[in-house]
Amino acid sequence: MPEPTTPEPVPAELRALAAEADALAERTAEMAARLEAADDGHLQRLAQPMSKATGDLADYTGEIAKTAAYLTRVRVSRDPHLCDVPWGICPIHGVTLHSLGDRAWCTATGCGNSWDYDRLHTPCAEPAVAIATDRDDVTGSLCSAHASDAERRLDGCRIEYLDHRAKNG
Ligand SMILES: [Zn+2]
Ligand SMILES: [Zn+2]
């Protein structure tokens, strides 16, 4: 029998972690304030590392919240009605994105689109309009931007647009 696989975390679990860290940060800040208010100078000095710890916890919460948001996007993108390509697009210009750190923007002239997450390296979650079949008969759903990009590249994939099929609502 195969080993049971480790269940992947869900965004709610990460948000619960972030909430715990938030509560911890609050208590830590309270300790720092009490040290700060002490009459003893030695205790007042100890407020500083406690304040730093409070800041570190806020950074931690930020990282966890960011990861939860990415995880949500990845999970949403698994919907079979959405594009399967593991890279994002500009909804107007297509495969024109650049990213740096936690930001992404469209490089098309005059396009002001930008995102406060690395959309380029986040799975595309645009509605699927075509099915691509590669040489090995592996199929995937493509949004219109990724379908036209695949056609342009002529990399041996067959693109079949879904609007040739009967559509109902
Ligand atoms: Zn654009
Ligand atoms: Zn796409």
Q: What is the DSSP letter of 129?
A: -
Measured N-to-C along each axis, helices 11-36 and 41-76 cross at an angle, to the nearest 10 degrees, of: 170
Instruction: Name, in order, each residue with C-beta under 8 angstroms of 135's C-beta and a sequence gap of 6 or more.
Output: 156, 157
Contact 64, 19 (CB under 8 A): no
Rg (CA), the chain: 24
Distance from the alpha carbon of residue 97 to the mean position of ligand 1, in angstroms: 8
Whole-angstrom distance, CA of residue 162 vs CA of residue 130: 5
Distance from the alpha carbon of residue 64 to the mean position of ligand 2, in angstroms: 26
> Which residues make up the environment of ion ligand 2, defined by Cβ < 5 Å?
83, 85, 124, 126, 143, 146
3-state secondary structure of 79: coil
- Name the pLDDT band for 3 (thresholds 50, 70, 90): low
Distance from the alpha carbon of residue 144 to the mean position of ligand 1, in angstroms: 14
String of b and e for 67-79 (b: at least 16 CB within 10 Å)? ebebbebeeebee
Distance from the alpha carbon of residue 70 to the mean position of ligand 2, in angstroms: 17
Q: Which two tokens stand for residue 129?
A: 């309009």
Distance from the alpha carbon of residue 154 to the mean position of ligand 1, in angstroms: 23
Distance from the alpha carbon of residue 149 to the mean position of ligand 1, in angstroms: 15
pLDDT, tens digit, 9 for 90 and up, residues 108-139:
999 999 999 999 999 998 999 998 888 878 88
pLDDT, tens digit, 9 for 90 and up, residues 28-69:
999 999 999 999 999 999 999 999 999 999 999 999 999 998
Q: In the chain, what is the straight-line distance between the N-terminal and C-terminal CA atoms, in Å?
A: 44
Contact 93, 105 (CB under 8 A): no
Phi first, then psi: give them for residue 80, nearest 5 degrees.
-65, -15
Phi first, then psi: give them for residue 102, nearest 5 degrees.
-100, 30
Q: What pLDDT, on the 0 to 100 scale, is given for residue 112?
A: 95
| Nearest-ligand number for the alpha carbon of 113 | 1
